[in-house]
Amino acid sequence: MPDFTVPLILSLKVAGSAAFIATVLGAGAAFALARWRSRWCEVVDSFLTLPLVLPPTVMGYYLLVLLGRRGVFGQWLSRWGIELVFTWQGAVVAASLVAFPLVLKSARAAFQDVDEQLENAARVLGVGEAAIFFRVTLPLASRGIFAGVLLAFARALGEFGATLMVAGNIPGRTQTLSIAIYQAVQAGDDGLANILVLITSATCIVALLVASYVWPDHSRRGRARVRL
């Protein structure tokens, strides 16, 4: 196989898994923050957004402290035979952490844009809270959430610092596109580096273009899909 296919496949697997995890956790946290009426809401939001502004190496260090063999969670996981450090699963954890705030911010804005009168109307009709969420709130916010998912996927695809610290640089096992680019440059292999850079750039540009198309006027278009 060509040299670039292995890190490409691994990067897509890591980015896809990270985007899924970030979507589930980010959308859940975003809905809670959008409906939570407290002065502590913004404090919690700022704390959850930290991975977006902290250096990736700092996040990688935190993950090593928590997930390493002597870490708080690492010791507990090792009892069950689970090792995350220097594995592709560890790369997923690192990418999920840095991609999480992108879903959180987009989803929270989308949930806050939902007209609560529609939710109240569903309650008057006797619809349960779970059904209101899945049949009213989520469809109205879906376009905003999807835009966040695409941004999270692009961010996870290009993750470098935290992934390198947690998963390392093991060819065929944990070497993602961004790490492979770094190694190719260090080795003086400009041809391989150019190919990897083009592949990464093209994938991220496509994700951003789709996100920019999906985001505008998401609430108005999503309203047409609500079915009580």
The answer to whether residue 184 is domain-embedded is yes
Q: Kindly state the DSSP code that residue 170 receives in the 8-state scheme.
A: -
What is the three-class DSSP state of 88? helix
The answer to whether residue 188 is domain-embedded is yes
pLDDT tens-digit series, residues 76-122: 888 888 889 999 999 999 999 999 999 999 999 999 999 888 888 98
Q: How many domains does the chain have?
A: 1
- Banded pLDDT at 137 (limits 50, 70, 90): very high
What is the average pLDDT value for the chain, to the nearest integer?
87
Among residues 42, 63, 40, 69, the alpha carbon closest in space to that of 51 is found at 63
Q: Are 92 and 63 in contact (CB under 8 A)?
A: no
The answer to whether residue 35 is domain-embedded is yes
The answer to whether residue 228 is domain-embedded is no
- Banded pLDDT at 73 (limits 50, 70, 90): confident
| Cα angle 198-16-4, degrees, rounded to a multiple of 5 | 35
The answer to whether residue 13 is domain-embedded is yes
The answer to whether residue 148 is domain-embedded is yes
Range of the domain at 172: 5-223
Measured CA to CA, the distance from residue 39 to residue 48 in angstroms comes to 16
The answer to whether residue 12 is domain-embedded is yes
Q: What is the pLDDT of residue 96?
A: 96
pLDDT tens-digit series, residues 16-65: 999 999 999 999 999 999 988 788 888 999 999 999 999 988 999 999 99
Q: Are 107 and 208 in contact (CB under 8 A)?
A: no
Q: Are 1 and 130 in contact (CB under 8 A)?
A: no
| Cα angle 159-163-169, degrees, rounded to a multiple of 5 | 115
The answer to whether residue 111 is domain-embedded is yes
Hey, what amino acid is at 23?
A: T
Evaluate if residue 190 carries a pLDDT over 60: yes
In this structure, what token pair is assigned to residue 154? 């692009």
Tell the residue number behind the tokens 């391989």, with chain if given. 192
CATH classification at residue 27: 1.10.3720.10
- Banded pLDDT at 2 (limits 50, 70, 90): low
Measured CA to CA, the distance from residue 57 to residue 165 in angstroms comes to 7
